[in-house]
Structure 1
Amino acid sequence: MNIIHTIWSSLLVIQRVIMILSSAFILIGLGVTVVLRYVFQTGLHGLEELMIIPAFWMYFIGAAYGTYKKEHITADIVSVYLKGEKKRLWLQLIISLINFSLISIFAYWSIEYIIWSISSGASSNVWKYPMYVPQSSILVGFGLMTLYTLVELVKNIINLSHYKS
């Protein structure tokens, strides 16, 4: 069990590092763009294209991390009106099952998208990097979201099975 905890913790650390580095690269890129444009009255052709890579990674890893932390906006008014803990546990189970189902579909589509992107050989206009470099963040992000919602689903099943009236 210790190895699982270590892997889980390491995964979260890696996600935080990716989010921090991506944010820093975006800020540096924007800063360079502003300085070049307004101080030197010039620009660096293709800089915006390079900033797409950290932007994709920040967005999708951030979405995965938000899924793990469950610190997103919800409108769960139904649980307020439900009477009884068992009904609330069932509601949480149904919600997590729906979430898992939808995110699994999106993860499957992201696999199909990356396969298509690789097979099409698409590359960026200026720097000619393969487009699957930023787009692979979609697959990684949805893969992590699938993992986190699966863990939540299993926890909700366990909570419901251990409930005593």
Structure 2
Amino acid sequence: MKKFGACFAWVEDKIVLLATLGVLCSITLSAACRYIFSYDLNGAEEVLGLFSAWMFFIGAVRASRTHNQITADILGVIFRNGVMGFLIRLTRILLGLAICSTMAWWSVEFIAWEMDNGGATPALGIPVLFGKLALFLSFFGMAGYCLRDLASLFMKR
């Protein structure tokens, strides 16, 4: 199981790295074309949006894996141990699981609708589905990490 998790972590990290490089290159190329060569690069925003979606959403999955999400957990700081600490961690994980599972389900419906719709970007004709897949994968990944955290919480007890 650890090998499986390590493979997922490796894939997540590579996707985030490639998406970040894609964002960097598309912004640099667009700025160079516009300000150095006085040429407007049509469709650069579409490519930037695609890379950005993958960077943001798979980055959120990576943050869930490494427990680096932004939190404002004052009760978790006050009640670190004991029954109250356990109940607060349990509630936080269950809420996260409920939200991520609901969003994962809606993203399945959204992807199905997008496949029927068949939309594409105006300048380059990139299927809109490519950007939406990051949303779909991210909520399933985050729900999976919530399940991992839930199992880990009960194994510590």
Question: Do they superpose with TM above 0.5?
Answer: yes
Q: How does 1:139-158 map to 2 (within 5 A)?
A: 139-158=136-155
Gaps of 5+ in 1: none
Q: Name which of 30, 35, 40 aligns with 1:38.
A: 35
Calculate percent identity across the aligned residue pairs.
Answer: 24
SS at match of 1:74: coil
Alpha-carbon offset, residue 83 of structure 1:
7.9
Q: How does 1:1-80 map to 2 (within 5 A)?
A: 4-80=1-77
Aligned residues: 157
Q: Which amino acid aligns with 1:149?
A: C
Q: Name which of 95, 100, 116 aligns with 2:97.
A: 100
| RMSD (CA atoms) | 1.4
The structure number with the bigger radius of gyration is: 1
TM-score (norm 1): 0.89
Gaps of 5+ in 2: none
Deviates more, 1:139-148 or 1:73-82: 73-82
TM-score (norm 2): 0.94
What CA distance in whole angstroms lies between the structure 1 residues aligned with 2:81 and 2:49? 48
